[in-house]
Amino acid sequence: MKKFDYVKPKTLAEASAFMVEHDDKARLYAGGTDMLILMRGGFIAPQYIVDIKEIPGLQDISFDETAGLTIGAAATLNAVASSPIIRQRFGLLAEAAETVGSYQVRNRATIGGNICNASPSADTVPALLVLGAMAWVFGSGEQKAIPLDTFFTGPGETVLGPGDILTSIQVSLPPAGHAYRYLKLGRVRAADLALVGVAVLGFPQAGNPSGYGFRIALGAVAPTAIRAPEAEVVLAESVDDEAIGKAALAAVRTAKPISDVRASAEYRSAMVGALTRRGIKEVLEDLRGP
């Protein structure tokens, strides 16, 4: 690995200013579980690593009934998955965080790194998309809010500019009576990236002919994680078996998978259909109760 200087700013302003000054020579560093792999492989060779983990507040997880949940960007995925408030009221996010790598990886890996690495297969992102998450970003001396569904511009790419630092993720409470699933397919059961990830959130919605509202997001089957709005519209009308089949097909149409070393595009498409169908059925069972 090429030699680098390790920088540990004490404040967001300091970190941001350093990044602006050293732009393409410096790289923000949180848990390092994505970055160190790239550095060791020689894919990136930053001159400065800017460790932001211990900037005050960046690891905090807090909740209030109005603002909802706020997760500091440097909170580890184990902290997210084991947080009592997240498990109780944002269970989908805990479920998704828990599928990332191994316990050891999740002890280092942060939610901010998972988002900012912008991998199409990042497991927390489909969950955050159906939860309508907001990204809070510090840059140019101020905080700005960016809806997560406008945050990603392509594989490994985001709207963040030089000096921009993701500081937290904010999530409002999901609708009352909701149920959820995050279904992830990897090559092996443990510690593998998603070939396909499907997040399904369902809730009672009196105004819809079906009586339910659904939000569905797909990971690893397009340049960025995406919502599947056509499928959601089908389920607003009906949730009988035929409608569920149609919704699964609509999700397949929305996905734009590629073939790579992990799986072919055809297999990924088929799995989008299978996992979407299963996710909707399991969520409906939970919504209807025993």
Ligand X SMILES: Cc1cc2nc3c(=O)[nH]c(=O)nc-3n(C[C@H](O)[C@H](O)[C@H](O)COP(=O)(O)OP(=O)(O)OC[C@H]3O[C@@H](n4cnc5c(N)ncnc54)[C@H](O)[C@@H]3O)c2cc1C
Q: Give the footprint of ligand X on this chain (CB under 6 A).
A: 27-35, 37, 52, 73, 77, 100-101, 105, 108-110, 112-114, 116-117, 121-123, 160, 165-166, 191, 193
Shortest separation between residue 75's beta carbon and ligand X, angstroms: 10
Shortest separation between residue 203's beta carbon and ligand X, angstroms: 25
**Of residues 100 and 217, the one with the C-beta less far from ligand X:** 100
Contact 153, 61 (CB under 8 A): no
Shortest separation between residue 108's beta carbon and ligand X, angstroms: 6
For 285, other C-beta atoms within 10 Å of its C-beta total 11
Shortest separation between residue 197's beta carbon and ligand X, angstroms: 8
- HSE at residue 225, side-chain half, CA atoms within 13 A, is 29
Q: What are phi and psi of 2, to 5 degrees?
A: -70, 145
**Of residues 31 and 213, the one with the C-beta less far from ligand X:** 31
**Of residues 76 and 276, the one with the C-beta less far from ligand X:** 76
**Of residues 8 and 108, the one with the C-beta less far from ligand X:** 108
Residue nearest to ligand X (CB): 113
189: Cβ–Cβ under 8 A, 6 or more apart, which residues? none
Q: Which two tokens stand for residue 41?
A: 């492989």
Shortest separation between residue 233's beta carbon and ligand X, angstroms: 28
Gyration radius from the chain CA atoms: 19
117: Cβ–Cβ under 8 A, 6 or more apart, which residues? 34, 156
**Of residues 29 and 90, the one with the C-beta less far from ligand X:** 29
**Of residues 219 and 279, the one with the C-beta less far from ligand X:** 219
Shortest separation between residue 165's beta carbon and ligand X, angstroms: 4
B/e letters for 8-43, b = 16+ CB within 10 Å, e = fewer, are ebeebeebbebbeebeeebbbbbbbbbbeebbeeee
